Amino acid sequence: MTAAAKLTAAVERNPGRTRERILSAALKEFAAKGFAGARVDAIARHADINKRMLYHYFGNKEKLFRAVLRQKIAERRVWAENLSGDPAERLPFWFKTACDDPDWIRLLEWEALQNAGQKVIDEKERRALTADWVQRLRQRQARKELSSEFDARHLALAMQSLTMYPMAFPQLTRFIMGTAADDSKFQRAHAAFLKKFAEAFRPMNARTIEINFKK
């Protein structure tokens, strides 16, 4: 059996593992170069498979990008469902996820740059998910769990900005804070700031949790 045949046989024995390797390699490539600049042969090489096998699993580059998006969004939905509605918990948590997953932040930045305001892949589904989140904020405002002083859409945008901005713009963070965005001391301080900043919107029954950053 040739080396290529052995590799193909190994891949076919572990389709789930192979799929995960492809998605992981694709996230790295899309984060580094954006959708337009990403190369399928580079993704296949980093996933240790051939392009034919990649196309077998995902069809084409757009479908692969869609699969990466859906995996990351699904991951975050699970996390969101297991958090309380308390912004004092949610803001530090989402900031930590941004710190732990800079590739996801870079992928979104590339998407914004390369689409220049045009529709993006899976836009209909992603808009629906966002609308559902905003509606849940409105429901919490109606239950007096959040301040109704603010438009829920602006509140949602502010929450995303506060948690993602430092990793999305590390150079500006460094200018302002005098330290790198990936510095653990800064991350702990910003998490503490977010927790305190959110106090005005905190539900009465919220749980206090600790978000641990590496020392």
Cα distance between residue 2 and residue 214, in whole Å:
46
**pLDDT for position 148:** 87
Report the predicted TM-score, pTM, of the whole model to 2 decimal places.
0.84
Alpha helices in 38-169 (DSSP H): 40-46, 51-58, 61-81, 87-100, 102-115, 123-142, 152-168
Tell me how many degrees the CA angle 102-48-17 measures, rounded to the nearest 5. 75
> What's residue 8's pLDDT?
54
Q: What is the DSSP letter of 70?
A: H
Distance, CA of 88 to CA of 114 (rounded, Å): 34
Rounded Cα–Cα distance for residues 163 and 98 (Å) = 7
Q: How many whole angstroms separate alpha carbon 31 and alpha carbon 170?
A: 15
Decide if 68 contacts 185 (C-beta within 8 A): no
* pLDDT value, residue 33: 97
Would you give per-residue pLDDT tens digits along the chain (215 residues)?
A: 555 554 555 555 678 899 999 999 999 999 999 999 999 999 999 999 999 999 999 999 999 999 999 999 999 999 999 988 888 999 999 999 999 999 999 999 999 999 887 899 999 999 999 999 999 999 999 988 888 888 999 999 999 999 999 999 999 999 999 999 999 999 999 999 999 998 867 655 444 445 566 65
- What are the C-alpha distances in Å from 1 to residues 95, 161, 206? 50, 54, 61
pLDDT at 206: 43
pLDDT of residue 210: 53
